[in-house]
Structure 1
Amino acid sequence: MNPFKTFMGTLFSKSSNKMEKTSIYDIKINALNGKPLELSAFKDKYILFVNVASKCGFTPQYKGLQELYDTHKDKLVVIGVPCNQFGKQEPGNAQEIESFCEVNYGVTFQITEKIDVKGANQHPLYTWLTQKQLNGKSNSKVKWNFQKYLVNPEGEFIDYYFSITSPMSTKIAKYLK
């Protein structure tokens, strides 16, 4: 069963064949260990999705992501989403990614399975994050590793931030006060 086709099939209105706004909580994705990660478990918290890579110039942002999570974990969930589409900078398997994150940055926030964040095999999570007709707010393209997407506690898309935006930036932190 192809989860992308299943998800996309649920987005089309039978009468108009147009995609309609849908809930982020309905999207299926697995954690790094292969077990389902239920996004609905994070209702009532902000969620910051970040496509991550271990061999990128922005990789030190893992430290800032961990600091942001530690500072606001009562109201924020950080979800790292490994992706190998930008310069092949995330070549590792699940065990290598987990070990790298823990050993080098002490990461305790959630990490998902490795996915595609753009292109023909774009995961439904990133289809939702990047398409206004689904998220109800704006279109975007994932330009590089460590691009960030923020969703509010009601599951509504807030905004996205390019890789150069520090995890501790006031652009993000202002929502968590």
Structure 2
Amino acid sequence: MRWIFGFVLSVIASAAWAAPPDMTFANIDGGTLNLSQWAGQPVLVVNTASQCGFTGQYEGLQALYDTYKERGLVVFAVPSDDFNQELGTSEEVKEFCEVAFGLDLPMADITRVRGSKAHPFYRAVKAETGFVPRWNFNKVLIGPDGAVVQTWGSSAKPQSRAIVGAIEPLLD
């Protein structure tokens, strides 16, 4: 009986990971984007790449954003060349995403997501949850309270039952 209680407490603790600190990203359009501007909203942060086998997920990310943005969801794309599959410049990335997928969701400039030079957001997520993007299109769901709710790997499609099921309870 005692081990069940301990197990339940560990599950509850792991579901309430500490929030990453307030983080600023370079905006692909210039200037900066700060996660604090979306305080009180769920944010799905996705490390992306334009020349990856999972690049087609941009379509699902945009559809997810279009479906739920009026209810508060932010889908935040973070292009990265950590896996050598991103275009050479932010301008090329922005143009590719707009032309090929009609993307209008918030997007960072090309950003490191793993290793010692990873963006502080990804270092904080790793420190708190152990999660590190193992490939492009890994997903981190941040709840309205700023806590990491859940993470998924590349194969989790943006409109999958698992992702939508985690997002919907967080919406207005």
Query: Does structure 1 retain, via aligned residues, the 8 Å contact 2:18–2:147?
Result: no
Show the counterpart of 1:135. Answer: none
- Give per-residue Cα distances to partners, 1:37-66, cap 9 Å, x unaligned: 121110111100100000000000000000
Question: How far apart, CA to CA, are the structure 1 residues paired with 2:76 and 2:40?
Answer: 15
Q: Where do residues 26-37 of structure 1 align in structure 2 (5 Å cutoff)? A: 26-37=22-33
Show the counterpart of 2:91. Answer: 95
Show the counterpart of 2:4. Answer: none
Question: How far apart, CA to CA, are the structure 2 residues paired with 1:110 and 1:139?
Answer: 25
Q: Where do residues 4-23 of structure 1 align in structure 2 (5 Å cutoff)? A: 23=19
SS in 2 for 1:24: coil
Shift in Å, 1:131:
1.8
Aligned-pair identity (%) = 36
Amino acid at match of 2:77: G
Shift in Å, 1:22:
6.9
SS in 1 for 2:145: coil
1:152 aligns with 2:149: no
- Give per-residue Cα distances to partners, 1:98-156, cap 9 Å, x unaligned: 10000000001011011111112111011122221xxxxx2112110000000001111
SS in 2 for 1:149: strand
Show the counterpart of 2:109. Answer: 113
- Normalised by the length of structure 2, the TM-score is 0.83
Question: How far apart, CA to CA, are the structure 2 residues paired with 1:99 and 1:108?
Answer: 11
Question: How far apart, CA to CA, are the structure 2 residues paired with 1:70 and 1:110?
Answer: 12
The gaps in structure 2 that reach 5 residues or longer are 1-16
Query: Does structure 1 retain, via aligned residues, the 8 Å contact 2:122–2:132?
Result: no
The gaps in structure 1 that reach 5 residues or longer are 1-20, 133-137
Show the counterpart of 1:47. Answer: 43
From the two aligned structures, give the one with the greater helix fraction.
2
Query: Does structure 2 retain, via aligned residues, the 8 Å contact 1:150–1:160?
Result: yes
- Normalised by the length of structure 1, the TM-score is 0.81
